[in-house]
């Protein structure tokens, strides 16, 4: 029996492996398996003693060897929007064929109630997991604070956070917080976490005006929040080179933020990780320091 992390060369996946090896769970490296599609990219994981299994969500035949009976598996949702239901279905089929003991999945806050475009593939994946009969744990992740701090350069260049989210609030947490939660459900007593859905989000919900004010305070610059109509935001994003389809997704996410879809706070994340979630001020500071 191993703890298996797919998407292990991604940003979240690497943090999950870190949390497994070094966190409170401290799993021996030989019990951790990284499912990756690019062996070279995972060389550092192999050096740490983690077993690599090479598989691509888009090539079902490569998934046949990805899992073994009794494995506790984390399926990290893919990044290719529009292709993910078929990809995740292939992973679920492979997990079922192997007879894994737990399939955890990184979905989206709100689960089947989430009504924004980006949620559709997660909802369908959850439906497939439930239909598979596998013992599951749904990790319905809220927003990463890093979704915002990764875009600090244009904010600093223009002195503005531009969005169409109105006064909507976002209960984000750091990627490392969500990774620690995933490690907790993969290593904790299975009976505690099986066939459960966790709504994971930060302890504090903040508005983009508050975010702008925090960036201003930390940089000593004037940074304002510019709330614009959805069409204007779409034009700004595409004008800045964001592909139209992705820009539409971002505008739709802001619409969901304005309606409160990402402000939900249940306390599940802090409970799973046994500490408060990371405040946005900390993640902003790390981004400004380049760490
Ligand atoms: N909650 C949020 O705020 C939020 C924000 C953005 C994304 N997400 C979702 O959460 C996931 C993890 O986030 P992240 O920041 O770690 O994203 P990321 O850095 O883009 O990582 C995505 C991972 O999925 C792997 N992957 C993609 N397509 C694959 C395929 N066809 N076969 C095998 N592996 C594949 C990637 O492999 P490679 O390393 O080989 O590229 C990578 O390891 C994302 O993929 C997305 O579904 C959530």
CATH number of the domain enclosing 63 = 3.40.50.720
Nearest-angstrom CA–CA distance, 194 and 182: 13
Instruction: Give the pLDDT confidence score for residue 222 in this predicted structure.
Output: 97
Could you list the residue range(s) of the whole structural domain that residue 48 is in?
3-141+175-200+265-274
What is the chain's percent helix, strand, coil content, to nearest 5? 50, 15, 35
Nearest CA to ligand 1 atom 25: 7
Q: Is 190 inside a domain boundary?
A: yes
- Ligand 1 atom at minimal distance to the Cα of residue 175: 15
Nearest-angstrom CA–CA distance, 50 and 275: 27
Q: Is 233 inside a domain boundary?
A: no
Instruction: Give the pLDDT confidence score for residue 79 in this predicted structure.
Output: 96
Instruction: Give the pLDDT confidence score for residue 209 in this predicted structure.
Output: 98
Distance 131 CA to ligand 1 centre (A): 24
Q: Is 231 inside a domain boundary?
A: no
Residue with tokens 């984390």: 74
Q: Is 259 inside a domain boundary?
A: no
Residues in a beta bridge with 33:
4, 51
% of the chain at pLDDT higher than 70: 99
DSSP string over 36-59: ES-TGGGHHHHHTTPEEEE--TT-
Burial 73-95 (b: 16+ CB within 10 A, else e): bbbbbbeeeeebbebbbbbbebb
Enumerate residues 6+ apart whose C-beta is below 8 A from 191: none
Q: Is 148 inside a domain boundary?
A: no
- Ligand 1 atom at minimal distance to the Cα of residue 13: 16
Nearest CA to ligand 1 atom 27: 78
Helix (H) or strand (E) segment spanning residue 271: helix 268-273
Nearest CA to ligand 1 atom 33: 56
Q: Is 192 inside a domain boundary?
A: yes
- Ligand 1 atom at minimal distance to the Cα of residue 108: 1
Enumerate residues 6+ apart whose C-beta is below 8 A from 52: 33, 34, 36, 39, 42, 45, 46
Is the Cα torsion angle 66, 100, 18, 181 positive or negative in sign?
positive
**What residues in the chain have per-residue pLDDT under 70?**
23-25, 291
Q: Is 37 inside a domain boundary?
A: yes
Q: Is 239 inside a domain boundary?
A: no
Tokens of 200: 């994971």
Instruction: Give the pLDDT confidence score for residue 22 in this predicted structure.
Output: 86
Domain count, the chain: 1
% of the chain at pLDDT higher than 90: 96
Distance 93 CA to ligand 1 centre (A): 19
Nearest CA to ligand 1 atom 47: 77
Ligand 1 pocket by C-beta < 6 Å: which residues?
7, 9-13, 37-38, 41, 56-58, 76-80, 87, 106, 141, 143-144, 147
């Amino acid at each position: 029996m191993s703890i298996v992390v797919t998407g292990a060369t991604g940003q979240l996946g690497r943090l999950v492996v870190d949390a497994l090896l070094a966190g409170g769970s401290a799993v021996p490296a030989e019990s951790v398996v990284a499912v990756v599609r690019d062996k070279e990219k995972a060389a550092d994981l192999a050096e740490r003693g983690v077993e690599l299994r090479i598989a691509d969500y888009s090539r079902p035949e490569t998934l046949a060897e990805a899992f073994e009976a009794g494995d506790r598996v984390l399926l990290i949702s893919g990044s290719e929007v529009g292709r993910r239901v078929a990809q995740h279905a292939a992973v679920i089929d492979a997990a079922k064929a192997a007879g894994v003991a737990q399939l955890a999945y990184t979905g989206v806050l709100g689960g089947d109630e989430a009504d924004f475009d980006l949620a559709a593939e997660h909802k369908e994946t959850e439906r497939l997991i439930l239909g598979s009969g596998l013992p599951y744990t749904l990790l319905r992740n809220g927003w990463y604070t890093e979704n915002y701090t990764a875009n600090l350069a244009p904010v600093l260049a223009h002195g503005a956070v531009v969005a169409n989210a109105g006064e909507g609030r976002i209960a984000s947490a750091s990627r490392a917080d969500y990774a620690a939660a995933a490690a907790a459900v993969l290593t904790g007593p299975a009976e505690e976490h099986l066939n459960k859905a966790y709504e994971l989000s930060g302890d504090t919900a903040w508005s983009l005006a508050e975010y702008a004010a925090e960036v201003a305070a930390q940089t000593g610059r004037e940074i304002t929040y510019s709330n614009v109509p959805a069409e204007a935001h779409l034009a700004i994003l595409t004008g800045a080179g964001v592909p139209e389809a992705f820009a539409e997704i971002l505008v739709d996410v802001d619409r969901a933020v304005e309606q409160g879809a990402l402000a939900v706070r249940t306390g599940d994340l802090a409970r799973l990780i046994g500490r408060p979630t990371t405040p946005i001020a900390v993640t902003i500071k790390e981004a400004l320091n380049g760490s």
